Homo-oligomer: A and B are copies of this chain.
Amino acid sequence: MHVVGRPRDESREKAILDAAIGLVAEVGYDGMSVEAIAGRAGASKATIYRRWPGKAQLVADAIRRLQPEAAPEPEDTGSLRGDLLALTRFMFESMGGLDGGLLCGLAVAVRSDPELGRLLDTIKRDARDRAQSLIVSRAKAREEMERTADPPDLIDVAAALSLFHVLGGKPLDEDFAIYLVDKVLLPLTR
């Protein structure tokens, strides 16, 4: 362990990740260069490579940071449909930055950083564990669902369809949210 020498300037990390996120969104994974990240962050390549093993891992980390550290407690809207809509809208928001370009970065980065492969899980895992069970139990309490119902992972379905939607170049708007809830999620609870 090193006990002497100049300590790392932890502010660099944020600057670099912010620059990376911005560039992924603007020009995509392939269109950006590590040099551009360094330039925008006012950092140097040496600093970047001292902290991350490569471009892919850096971008992976940057995307990871995009996810909210703590999904807020899903609010109780009073109905299953309302809860699902709120969940969908929240997911849209947290995927907001994930337009085509960012997803490409993700898809590529996933190759070099298998651990990032679980990011897609993470997008929904917390939500599922803390949201789905809550929403479902509320719905059962309201007797909107049968006690014995065992729906599939709704968040999986919602995330998958949203990803598919956005990959096709279409926007994650209210129309799609309503379609998603009324034609897919809600029927799956019955």
Q: Which residues of B contact A168 (CB under 8 A)?
A: 117-118, 120-121
Give the number of chain A interface residues (Cβ < 8 Å).
Answer: 37
Q: Is the interface of A mostly helix, strand, loop or mixed?
A: helix
Partner of A108, one of B30, B160, B165: B30
Q: How far is the CA of A58 from the CA of B42 in the complex (A)?
A: 32
The segment from A66-74, A126-134, A180-188 that touches chain B is: A180-188
Most buried by B among A28, A29, A111: A111
Partner of A184, one of B106, B120, B188: B188
User: Would you call A97 an interface residue if the criterion is a C-beta within 8 Å of the partner chain's C-beta atoms?
Assistant: no
Q: Which residues of B contact A23 (CB under 8 A)?
A: none
Chain copies in complex: 4
User: Would you call A53 an interface residue if the criterion is a C-beta within 8 Å of the partner chain's C-beta atoms?
Assistant: no
User: Would you call A114 an interface residue if the criterion is a C-beta within 8 Å of the partner chain's C-beta atoms?
Assistant: yes
Q: Which residues of B contact A120 (CB under 8 A)?
A: 164, 167-168
Cβ-closest chain B residue relative to A159: B164
Nearest 9 Cβ contacts at the A-B interface:
A160-B164, A107-B107, A152-B183, A160-B160, A104-B107, A160-B161, A117-B169, A104-B108, A28-B111
Q: 12 A-B residue contacts at CB 8 Å?
A: A30-B111, A31-B111, A104-B111, A151-B183, A151-B187, A152-B183, A152-B184, A157-B184, A160-B161, A161-B161, A163-B164, A163-B167
